[in-house]
Amino acid sequence: MAEERKKIYINKNDDIAVVIAKLTDAPAHDVVLHVPRFSRLAANPSHVYLLKRESETQGKTLAIESVDDDVLASANEAGIPAENPFFAGAKKSVTDIVTLPKRRPRVSRAATVDATLARSKAARMEEPPEADALSAPVPETQEEIARELDAQFGPLQDSTRKKHSAAFYTRLIVGALFAGGATVAAAMMLPRATINIVAQKAEWPYQETLTADTSLKAPEAGSARIPGQVFAERRNVTLAFPASGKRQVSEKAGGKITVFNALSSEPQKLVATTRFATADGKIYRLTAPVTVPGAKIVDGKIVPSSIDADVRADAPGVAYNLAPGVSFSIPGFKGTPKYNAFRGESKTAITGGYVGELAYPTDEDIKKAKAAIAGTLGDGLKAAVLAKAPPEFKTLEGGSQLNIVKQTVGSEVNATGAFTVTAEAELSVMGFREADVRTAIRGMLAKKNPDTYPLYTTTSETVSYNGPRFDAVAGRMSFAVDYKAASAYAIEPSALRGKILSKSERELRAMVLGVPGIASARIELWPFWVRSVPKNAEKVTISVQ
């Protein structure tokens, strides 16, 4: 945050350029300039007018304090508030602490004459041509200054004047050289030109349909077709769904048993419905005929052979559900040698026996299950496809196609009343590069506006998409595009800079406003007395908005 008021102390040898720089760098709005006695600022009263002009340009309020009466007089003439800090007393608004100087020793009148004349000569050498209109008359010669001093202090002895004439001329020459050097340095360092250009603006809308095509390898100039690429992924999944249907059922248990032959090496045929009985009398029948291989004779010993066979309980109910490891006999062989030589055993559980109400999937259950598993597959496949696609590719919502390769609905309901659906699907997604979209649209705008569009440079652009229609088989997708671009007339600052160097202010304005595509321009030459563009291109700043 800027200070409310700031006091700036300058050295007596500071030239006007240094003082202006200190004024510019001051962060406060109100500035008090402390000017010492015999300051170079007092040598040319027009410099005080320049300070006033610069403070007004910067929007600052300037005041001067000094013990030098010449400085105070010049400030008052320029309209700048000025005061001697020794007599300001309680009126001072700046809180800086200043130590009062010792009583000034009396200076001889001859020295006064020399100093006055030196200031007069330096003022004449440094003041610009318009100084006569800005400052009070300055005595022209040493004799005129002497007469003024004689009128105030009495006649001065000629010997005294002669004594100090050499010192006076030495100071006069040094002051003139110093002032001349400062003027040359200011002329070389200070002048600069700033040109702020506002270029003409234009908007370029485009609302048409584009087509992404996998057969294209690069955008076609002036065409609404751009390259496209299809990304695909395939997978399967099995999910369980609740069955809402209810029905009375009487189900027989079923499963597999292993049948053993320990009788001889002769195989044994068993017909379908052959009975197998448990120790507690439960009967299970073969669902299909089987042939039990003959036993093997190893070292004179019989090694039983075996075969697996499907069986189903002879009656419904949960009582016929068996755990693994249950032994079976064949009642049909009872009373023969085969009864003890042939047997069965359940290696796995025999299940499914049930009498009562049982859940089953209705047609609506199956329809919903198929839709749900398709959605689950689609979401998973989409995530997989997007993870695989390069980041520079754009995909659109609705710009994909899901193909269900296979669906299978389980015929059984588990203990929790749920049935299963297995599905396999493939998802295809069309992608395209947004850079290709912008290139295609710019090409079409240039084709429609060949005389104007190339003159402008795009500054910002937005694009949105809608209504994609994707044909995975053909490898094409069309979609609506809403494109908006803001642009500015292309103006090259470097080309303009080379043409305006050393031009007068009037010529500069005519040249700048004559450049095609410029809506407005603000031209600023600094300092205020500069009336032409500097010769040095580095002193010329051109900005284009």
The predicted-structure confidence for 386-440, as pLDDT tens digits, reads as follows 888 899 999 999 999 999 999 999 888 887 889 999 999 999 999 999 999 999 9
> pLDDT-based confidence at 178, cuts 50/70/90?
low
Summarize the confidence of residues 180-202 as an average pLDDT: 72
Q: Global pTM? A: 0.48
Which secondary structure element, helix H or strand E, spans residue 225, and what is its range?
strand 225-227
Residue 121 has pLDDT above 90, yes or no: no
For 192-228, the pLDDT digits (tens) are: 899 888 888 888 899 999 999 999 988 887 889 999 9
Residue 414: the pLDDT is 86
33-37, 183-187, 281-285 — most confident range? 281-285
Residue 201 tokens read as 């603006």
φ, ψ for residue 224 (rounded to 5)?
A: -90, 20
Residue 74: the pLDDT is 87
Summarize the confidence of residues 377-389 as an average pLDDT: 89
Residue 489 tokens read as 């007339």
Q: Which residue has the higher pLDDT, 29 or 221?
A: 29
Residue 168 has pLDDT above 80, yes or no: no
Residues 6 or more apart in contact with residue 21 via CB below 8 angstroms: none
For residues 37 and 9, is the Cβ–Cβ distance under 8 A? no
Residues 6 or more apart in contact with residue 198 via CB below 8 angstroms: 518, 519, 520, 521, 545
φ, ψ for residue 75 (rounded to 5)?
A: -65, -45
The domains of the chain are located at 5-189, 192-200+491-544, 202-244+361-489, 248-357
Residue 131: the pLDDT is 33
Strands 342-345 and 275-277: unpaired
For residues 187 and 179, is the Cβ–Cβ distance under 8 A? no
Alpha-carbon span 492 to 502, nearest angstrom: 19
Q: How far apart are the first and last CA of the chain?
A: 29
Residue 239 has pLDDT above 90, yes or no: yes
Summarize the confidence of residues 92-120 as an average pLDDT: 37
Q: Which residue has the higher pLDDT, 146 or 474?
A: 474
Question: Considering all CA atoms of the chain, what is the largest pairwise distance in Å, rounded to the nearest integer?
Answer: 174
Q: What percent of the chain has pLDDT over 90?
A: 37
For residues 212 and 196, is the Cβ–Cβ distance under 8 A? no
Residue 163 has pLDDT above 50, yes or no: no
Residue 166: the pLDDT is 59
- Look-up of token digits 């007018």: 49
Residue 164 has pLDDT above 60, yes or no: no
Residue 165 has pLDDT above 70, yes or no: no
Residue 174: the pLDDT is 61
Summarize the confidence of residues 511-528 as an average pLDDT: 85
Residue 459 has pLDDT above 80, yes or no: yes
Query: Kindly report the CA angle at 440 between 444 and 477, in degrees rounded to 5?
Result: 115
Summarize the confidence of residues 500-520 as an average pLDDT: 85
Residue 338 tokens read as 């085969």
Closest CA to 329 of 285, 278, 293: 278
Alpha-carbon span 342 to 422, nearest angstrom: 41
For residue 400, what are the CA distances in angstroms to 33, 404, 436, 468, 477?
76, 13, 20, 9, 9
> pLDDT-based confidence at 531, cuts 50/70/90?
confident
Q: Which residue has the higher pLDDT, 22 or 320?
A: 320
- Residue by residue, DSSP assigns 465-497 as EEEEEEETTTTEEEEEEEEEEEEEE---HHHHH
Residue 495 has pLDDT above 80, yes or no: yes
Residue 113: the pLDDT is 34
Strands 201-213 and 476-489: antiparallel
For 318-357, the pLDDT digits (tens) are: 999 999 999 999 999 999 999 999 999 999 999 989 898 8
Length, in residues, of the chain = 545
Summarize the confidence of residues 134-159 as an average pLDDT: 42
Residue 157 has pLDDT above 50, yes or no: no
Which secondary structure element, helix H or strand E, spans residue 62, and what is its range?
strand 61-66
Residue 109: the pLDDT is 36
- Look-up of token digits 């908006």: 484
In one-letter notation, the amino acid at residue 451 is: D
Summarize the confidence of residues 480-505 as an average pLDDT: 87
- Look-up of token digits 């090259």: 492
> pLDDT-based confidence at 63, cuts 50/70/90?
very high
For residues 57 and 84, is the Cβ–Cβ distance under 8 A? no
φ, ψ for residue 99 (rounded to 5)?
A: -80, 130
Strands 225-227 and 201-213: parallel
Residue 86 has pLDDT above 70, yes or no: yes
Residue 298 tokens read as 């190893």
Q: Which residue has the higher pLDDT, 78 or 150?
A: 78
Question: What is the four-CA torsion angle of 352, 358, 363, 364, rounded to 10 degrees?
Answer: -130
Alpha-carbon span 285 to 326, nearest angstrom: 15
Mean pLDDT of the chain: 81
Q: Which residue has the higher pLDDT, 302 or 144?
A: 302
Alpha-carbon span 528 to 512, nearest angstrom: 20
Residue 103 has pLDDT above 80, yes or no: no
φ, ψ for residue 78 (rounded to 5)?
A: -80, -5
- Residue by residue, DSSP assigns 100-131 as PPPPPPPPPHHHHHHHHHHHHHHHHHHS-TTH
Residues 6 or more apart in contact with residue 208 via CB below 8 angstroms: 224, 444, 480, 481
